[in-house]
Structure 1
Amino acid sequence: MSHTRAYLAAASLLALAACGPDPQPQPKPATPVAIAPPAPVALPAPVLAGGAIDTAQYQAPASDQRTPDVIRAQVLLDRAHFSPGVIDGRSGENVRQAIAAYETSVGLPSDGVLDQAVFDRLTAADGAPVTMSYAITAEDVAGPFVPDLPKDLVDQAKLKKLAYRGPQELLAEKFHMTEDLLAALNPGVDFGQAGASITVAAISPTVLPEVVASIEVDKTERSVKAFNAQGRLLAFYPASIGSDDRPAPSGLLKVVAVAPNPTYTYDPSRLTFGDKQKKVTIPPGPNSPVGSVWIDLSEDTFGIHGSDEPAQIGKHFSHGCIRLTNWDALQLSKSVKKGVPVKFTG
């Protein structure tokens, strides 16, 4: 049993070599735009999923304009298990790819444009509100938090847990949102106050409706797709996959194990990035370089895992592994078992 496998079998701990905390910028078909400072969004709670949409607002491949229609589309796609990544209210490449995958699954032309026909198909299958009111709980604000989370791996190794920086980050990730959008939907709210009522995305259940029988990692499209035993697409996730320096694997691998709350071991003798000379073990937590869960693959040191930077998924390279948002990685991990084939294409 390898060092990595021993950790997994013993206590859901993890020693890694391929993945790292500093992903490189990744070119996109559409150039990402800077996120504007939070501004209130005219989006009442709850917002109904149905109705006409303003198609002019989101047909561009990327936009810094945050609109209610894009929020509605992102939540509906999330609930349909065609993840747009983080819900931010802005159109972009992750949203386009999620729409294209959804279109293919329902037999529509796969152009990635959220036209009225696609929106009508989404709302016909799911007419529930896309936002909801949520009362902040005592658990949400209890912590412990790490407000000044260090970037240096040696300093991170000194911590007990790579926890959230504060309640706002916890709540944003809990509802698959950016902190920016959470603040815009709730201007003036103190997210550290238990009992406060806030507007959040009405997200999907964690578990997929069926067991995953196979996984496809598309290195060109930068996506992960999960299929059932009949070959039907169950879920689509945007991903950060490999780099020129540390490419992702090729061919057919398989799932070996799933490790929740993994630790991350930085071992410079096994890495092709970084300039540290000291081997350190980073504690688990949502802000770990490998996020909240690790799906171990049959090629040593490679896996599908979460991320401490959900807004960067699909916009940066990884150091060989397959990065998803924490919630997408968790959803996939709960529906896979040892032996599930993982095919790398592209």
Structure 2
Amino acid sequence: MLGKVFMLSALVAGLSASGALASQTAGAAHGAGQAVASQSEDILLAQAGDVEVFYDGNGNRVIIDAYTGEIIAVQPPRRVRPMNRQAQRRALRLRELDREERYYLDDPEDMERLRRRKLGDYRILPPPVDEYDYPDAREPFVDEFPPPPRRRTLPELREQPPRVVERKPVERAPLNEPADPSASGETIVVDPAAPPPMNFTAREDVAGIQVLMDRTGASPGVIDGKFGSNVDKAFDAYREITGTNLRSTDSAGIKAALAATGGDPFTTYTITAADAAGPFVASVPEDYSAKAQLDNLSYTSVSEMLAEKFHMDEGYLKALNPEANFSRPGTIIRVANVGAPVTRKVQRIVADKGRKQVRAYDEAGKLVVAYPATIGSAETPSPTGTHKVSRVAFNPNYTYNPKVNFKQGNNNRILTIPPGPNGPVGSIWIALDKPTYGIHGTPDPSKIGKTESHGCVRLTNWDAQELAKLVSVGVTVEFVE
């Protein structure tokens, strides 16, 4: 079966015997049904000048007159010189080796060979010679690759100094002074109510503010490095006591005020043998009948005692000294550098229920001290009106009477609770002329200003101790809403 491939013009057919005349021999062969022409035989020309070329099943090229349909010539296929078996095996082996070759990503030489191979796969090759063997005057393309990068030798690598990470101690310092906005002519609006970011450095800055407030008599309660309502009230009292308008964002002003009142907000303290000796109690029971069975409601640990000594929250004291052994004498710890207690006497006390604050004034009406306070509750409200101080007791015991005061648990009888800082009234009792009411300390200083009391005025133990030394019998205590 013949397959049609293409049609060519007789003028450009490129046949080997162009211009030959038609022979009777070819016509006789056509009459027999097939005419075969060798490479040297003449080929009949088509009458109309057009021929068609086909290939039969044996690969012979059959040339047919396009006008008459007669076979002009039959050319056998070109013989291809077969490759010897040794060359075939060599080529097959090379392909297998190329397929099995491995490249290691951590070996620079392997990676360079892989790169050259990839470039070789995509290089530009000279065009193949077509079937007509026309010569190509162009030179074959020869690609040139850049030389591989130079690898450093082992001695060169050893000459390089080893990389060493230098670890420097962290220096704690206050924030830098803010730039003066007037120098650039820009107006910067700062919200005074927005506190600084609450990271660890800022917490120490806040603790420094609390130390400053504590030194001047504007108590923030416990020094814990946290902003809150107690710090806000202390700022207002500080401005009234000092006559300045210091703000929490004024780092330069705070630094100057600290330097003027006692220096750095933190100092070191060495735990003594007396500190470690106590006495201490293992725990403080909640039930009043269990409290009454103890000899003393003292501190439960050295850290609790030192926290109150330096007006600090116990958890914050431990956070400042994470590796400290508080039970071992000689241990040096970092504590708040609080100042000496205020000594100016007071003549009038105001217990502000709305602000949860106690303010004390001298005879001239100037504010002397201010403390955050817990004043009564909805169930057991505090007194109203004006009362007077009737007596002051240091380290007092406490008489529990459920018929007069409140009922605690299932205790229905009168109990005498022993003295101590962890007693119901702490270490101070400033009695008022209204029976069962007074100003006193607390076993939970961190809750001052945040919880409720049983009708009395509750302060931290250190604030109550300071106030107890400033008052005398007859000082008025006014309760305001």
Per-residue CA deviation, residues 251-292 of structure 1 (Å, 9 max, x unaligned), is: 111111100011111111112343421221110000001000
Q: CA deviation at 1:56?
A: 9.2
Distance 2:238 2:304 in 1: 29
Q: Which residue number in structure 1 is paired with residue 472 of structure 2?
A: 337
Deviation per residue, 1:278-318 (Å, 9 max, x gap): 22111000000100010111111110000000000000011
Task: Answer whether contact 2:214 2:339 (CA < 8 A) is retained.
Answer: yes
Q: Which residue of 2 aligns with 1:23?
A: none
Give the structure 2 partner of residue 236 of structure 1: 370
Residue 99 of structure 1 is matched in structure 2 by 235
Whether 1:291 aligns to 2:426 is yes
Confirm or deny that 1:257 pairs with 2:391: yes
Return the index of the structure with the highest Cα Rg. Answer: 2
Aligned to 1:39: none
TM-score after normalising by structure 2: 0.58
Between the aligned partners of 1:338 and 1:71, the Cα distance in structure 2 is 35
Higher alpha-carbon deviation: 324-333 or 144-153: 144-153
Partner of 2:320: 185
1:138 maps to which residue? 273
The residue type equivalent to 1:261 in the other structure is N
Alignment of 1:1-346 (within 5 A): 44=172, 52=177, 59-60=194-195, 67-107=203-243, 114-116=248-250, 119=254, 122-123=257-258, 125-126=260-261, 128-206=263-341, 208-275=342-409, 276-346=411-481
How far did residue 62 of structure 1 move? 11
- Report how many residues are paired: 299
Letter in 1 for 2:339: S
**Structure 2: runs of 5+ lacking an equivalent:** 1-169, 179-189
AA in 2 matched with 1:139: A
Deviates further, 323-332 or 150-159: 150-159
What's the offset of the Cα at 1:185? Answer: 1.0
Greater relative CO (CA pairs within 8 A, separation 6+): 1
- One-letter code aligned to 2:288: L
Letter in 2 for 1:271: N
- Percent of residue pairs bearing the same amino acid type: 43
Does the residue aligned with 1:329 lie in a helix, a strand or coil?
A: helix
Q: Secondary structure at the match of 2:267?
A: strand
Q: Determine the C-alpha separation between the residues in 2 that align with 1:211 and 1:68.
A: 32
C-alpha separation in 1, matches of 2:379 and 2:430:
22
Q: How big is the alpha-carbon RMSD for the aligned residues of Structure 1 and Structure 2? A: 2.7
- Aligned position for 2:21: none
TM-score, normalised to structure 1, is 0.80
Query: SS of the counterpart of 1:216?
Result: strand
| Residue pair 1:61, 1:93 contacting (<8 A) in 2 also | no
Whichever residue aligns with residue 389 of structure 2, its letter is V
CA separation in 2, counterparts of 1:272 and 1:153? Answer: 12
